[in-house]
Structure 1
């Protein structure tokens, strides 16, 4: 389990309206997965530097088939920029954004017209990571207090992929699997929804 701590997963649902690539695995094996730290405005620690395993991918349908492309890595810390990038990509049935930040968490976004659905795999990541904090702000959910950080909780729109065949419980089970890294969780989601191959091809272009 790669030294990960055990965690209890509880599901938090909000209203939507209100195998990893060689490059990723090699980065882990080389010991270059640690993120540098900075200070946030509240005096706490805020992770800011980009990591070799961070990525953002846009997934969309074109000519009735799934396509996936890597987005600029800077979008792994900019929710507004990510949503803007997704809106620029025409797609039948909306556009999907999948972001993995190191070994820590992932974010799934789906843009359907004016509707933006967002899912965060670990609410406690909002204490350390800009993107996770921005997700909570978007969802109008407070950042957890220190005494609440012993539980890793997914938060956001658990039904983000429900109409594509991945229901809330299955998404919760994937995000709570202690044996998977964030990129592996996203690959499981991609395979379950039906765009596993395009997603893998996109990841193969990283590193």
Structure 2
């Protein structure tokens, strides 16, 4: 069922305020529990955009964007919910049933327009999500490049 070993990967909080991007590391618990990621992101008060990019075990990524009404979410591979609690939590919050055990299709679930206001239109995000030969960190780097925070993102990843 769910993976209980330590989860590898990274979580990055991204904030855009006064026309400048800032990236910072999220606590490791953000990779295991969606609530931990949302709580940590909500602590980052900003008048601009705040969202989290989570790359989990070189398998999939999650984009989390808290709002007063809840959280917008994008899971790059719905099938990850069969093996990872955080992916199952995303589908649960989205009220989407997990795929069948024997379904080997890869598809995203959630809001493809989650970053449209910061330069990543849904159709472009969908293209990146469907680049299945890329690792999640490479996909997130492409998103960072398109939105304009690739330097900040890259510098942070170099330090992790």
Query: Which deviations, in whole Å up to 9, do the C-alpha atoms of 1:130-176 show, x marking residues without a partner?
Result: 110000000011111124x2210101011001122211111111011
Q: 1:82 maps to which residue?
A: 37
Greater relative contact order, per chain length (Cα 8 Å cut-off, separation 6+): 1
RMSD of aligned alpha carbons: 1.4
Partner of 2:4: 48
Spell out the pairing of 1:12-23 with structure 2 (5 A cutoff): none
Whether 1:181 aligns to 2:135 is yes
- Distance 1:114-1:93 versus aligned 2 partners, 3 A rule: farther
TM-score by length of 2: 0.94
2:48 aligns with one of 85, 90, 93: 93
Is 1:150 matched with 2:107?
no
Structure 1 unaligned residues grouped into runs of 5+ = 1-44
Larger Rg: 1
Secondary structure of residue in 1 paired with 2:106: coil
- Size of the alignment, in residue pairs? 160
Over 3 Å counting, the alpha-carbon distance change for 1:196 and 1:138 in structure 2 is same
Distance 2:39 2:6 in 1: 20
Q: Give the unaligned 5+ runs of structure 2.
A: none
1:172 maps to 2:126: yes
Corresponding residue number in structure 2 for 1:22: none
Q: CA deviation at 1:115?
A: 4.1
Q: CA deviation at 1:60?
A: 0.5
Q: Show the counterpart of 2:12.
A: 57
How far is the alpha carbon of 1:183 from its aligned partner? 0.6
Residue matched to 1:11: none
Partner Cα distance (1:49, 1:197) in 2: 32
| TM-score, normalised with respect to structure 1 | 0.73
